[in-house]
Amino acid sequence: MTKLIGIGIFGKQVLSVISDSNKESVDEVINHIESNDLIEYITNKYDEYFHTKFDNRIYNNVALNKFYSESGYDSGTAKRMFGTDGGLLLIIDLILHETEEKSVSWEIEI
């Protein structure tokens, strides 16, 4: 087992890619999820947006790619929610979905 370190930072940097009106097709993102190279694909293609480097020195790209490959994505649902060019939004959605799933066990004092 290894810790999933860097998923939030990756997500924030994908948001900067989205905020500059960049798009990826859902099919392209799913292709890279299934190929277990989504992290490398996105960080190489949008290198100028990634101030934090995902080059396996700090973050474990194998673990990050596995997070996405085990996320239970559905291309049909993703296309209905985000359109055919909503692949970058799918990346963020999968982080949020997993956060929602895990947050039921979080406790906060109020």
| Tens digits of residue pLDDT in 57-68 | 889 999 999 999
pLDDT tens digits, 19-48: 999 999 999 999 999 999 999 999 999 999
pLDDT digits (tens, 9 = 90+) for 74-94: 888 999 999 999 999 999 999
SS (H, E, C) 60-99: CHHHHHHHHHCCCCCHHHHHHHHCCCEHHHHHHHHHHHHH
Verdict on whether the full-model pTM lies above 0.95? no
